[in-house]
Amino acid sequence: MARSAYKQYQATQYDAVGRLLPRLIADAEMAGRTYGLARPGVCEIRALAYDTAAALLNRIGELGLAWTAADRAKSAAEYSGEPLLGAFGAYRLAYILTGRQHAREAIELAMGASAALERVMRSPSPDQLSIYGGLQSAACRYPIPAQRVCPLARFRRSRQAARLCGSWRSP
């Protein structure tokens, strides 16, 4: 159900997603209490549920709630043991942080997640490249003085990742 909700969000079926989320989050939390929050499968479901909630809440302007949901998604993703899911959680949270005028924190988060993803990408999949490019793009949004890597270099990495994917894909 978590993947289905996210696919509906990507298809702009926001009303349907809004109706699914309360049950999805309740079920994900029940699974956590029943099977343990450290189980990778439970963490993945929780991460996807909260990420979808964060995306929808951000879309409708509920930035405080979106931040909370994105933080929960990122935390669950980190416990899942899946580097790609962790990077995806960081991607969502970075975009929400920039919307809340926390550019420095967003850039640090995006660059840290990007570096972590680089360490595990041997023969990158389209999903890895998409999220990697998204993290680079997130870090480009707001230049900060004295950055080690200029936004133009990040944009080039983002564009290169898109080319390797074959097209621009939204994470």
* Window from 67-71, 98-102, 114-118, 166-170 with minimum mean pLDDT: 166-170
The residue segments making up the domain with residue 67 are 2-122
Q: Is residue 18 part of a domain?
A: yes
Residue-wise pLDDT for 26-61, tens only, equals 999 999 999 988 888 999 999 999 999 999 999 999
Q: Is residue 160 part of a domain?
A: no
Q: Is residue 133 part of a domain?
A: no
Q: Is residue 158 part of a domain?
A: no
Residue-wise pLDDT for 107-123, tens only, equals 889 989 988 988 888 88
3-state secondary structure the chain: CHHHHHHHHHCCCHHHHHHHHHHHHHHHHHHHHHHCCCCHHHHHHHHHHHHHHHHHHHHCCCHHHHHHHHHHHHHHHHHHCCHHHHHHHHHHHHHHHHHCCCHHHHHHHHHHHHHHHHHHCCCCCHHHHHHHHHHHHHHHCCCCCCCCCCHHHHHHHHHHHHHHHCCCCCC
Q: Is residue 162 part of a domain?
A: no
Q: Is residue 154 part of a domain?
A: no
Q: Is residue 75 part of a domain?
A: yes
Q: pLDDT-based confidence at 158, cuts 50/70/90?
A: low
Kindly state the average pLDDT of the residues 56-69: 94
Q: What is the CATH number of the domain that holds 110?
A: 1.25.40.10
Q: pLDDT-based confidence at 159, cuts 50/70/90?
A: low
Q: What's the structural domain count of the chain?
A: 1
